[in-house]
Amino acid sequence: MRYINRLVSPVIFIVVLTFAQVAIAQKSALKIDHAVSLTDVAKQQFHITTDIKNIHQPQLSLSLPTWAPGWYTVENYFKNVLRFRITDAKGAVLPMRMTKKQTWTIDTKGIEQIRIDYDYSATVLGLNQAKIASDFAFFTGIELFLEPVGHRDVPSTVKFQIPAGWKLISALKDTPDPMLFTAADYDTLVDAPVLMGSFDVTECEVEGKPHYFAAAPAGVFNAEKSKRYTEIWGKTIQAQSAIFGGLPYEKYVAFYFFMPAQSNASGALEHLNSYVAFSPGGERSTPEGIIGTGSHEFFHLWNVKRIRPAEMWPYDYSRENETPLLWVSEGFTNYYGVVATYRAGVTTKEAFLQRAADAAAGIEAPRLASISRRQIRRFRPGPDTTRRSHLVSHITRRGKTSRACSTCRSGTTRAANTIWTTLCVRFITSII
Output the DSSP codes for 249-280. Answer: SS-EEEEEE-S--SSS--SEEEETTEEEEE--
pLDDT at 6 > cutoff 80: no
Q: Tell me the C-alpha distance between 344 and 237, whole Å.
A: 8
Please spell the DSSP secondary structure of 184-243, one letter per residue.
SSHHHHHT-EEEEES-EEEEEEETTEEEEEEEESTTSS-HHHHHHHHHHHHHHHHHHHHH
Please spell the DSSP secondary structure of 114-125, one letter per residue.
EEEEEEEE-B--
Q: Tell me the C-alpha distance between 231 and 186, whole Å.
A: 33
pLDDT at 373 > cutoff 70: no
Structural contact between residues 103 and 63, judged by C-beta atoms closer than 8 angstroms: yes
Q: Which residues of 320-332 are buried (b: 16+ CB within 10 A; e: fewer)?
A: ebebebbbbbbbb
pLDDT at position 353 is: 87
Cα-based angle 160, 47, 217 (whole degrees, multiple of 5): 60
Question: Any idea which architecture 30-197 has in CATH?
Answer: Sandwich (2.60)
Q: Tell me the C-alpha distance between 106 and 61, whole Å.
A: 6
Run of H or E residues at 178: none
pLDDT at 394 > cutoff 70: no
H helix intervals, 245-324: 287-299
- Backbone phi and psi for residue 103, each to the nearest 5 degrees, phi listed first: -130, 130
pLDDT per position as a tens digit, 286-322: 999 999 999 999 999 999 999 998 888 899 999 888 8
pLDDT at position 209 is: 98
pLDDT at 18 > cutoff 90: no
User: Of residues 317 and 405, which shows the higher confidence score?
Assistant: 317
How far does CA 113 lie from the centroid of its chain?
29
pLDDT at position 287 is: 97
User: Of residues 113 and 284, which shows the higher confidence score?
Assistant: 113
| Residue 31 pLDDT grade (very low, low, confident, very high; cuts 50, 70, 90) | very high
pLDDT at 1 > cutoff 50: no
Run of H or E residues at 415: helix 414-423
Q: Tell me the C-alpha distance between 66 and 421, whole Å.
A: 34
pLDDT at 410 > cutoff 50: no
Query: Which distant-in-sequence residues (6+ apart) come within 8 Å of 388 by Cβ?
Result: none
Computed over every residue of the chain, the mean pLDDT equals: 83
Q: Tell me the C-alpha distance between 248 and 233, whole Å.
A: 17
| Residue 21 pLDDT grade (very low, low, confident, very high; cuts 50, 70, 90) | very low
Q: Tell me the C-alpha distance between 196 and 250, whole Å.
A: 21
- Which part of the chain has CATH 2.60.40.3650? 30-197
Q: Tell me the C-alpha distance between 144 and 137, whole Å.
A: 13
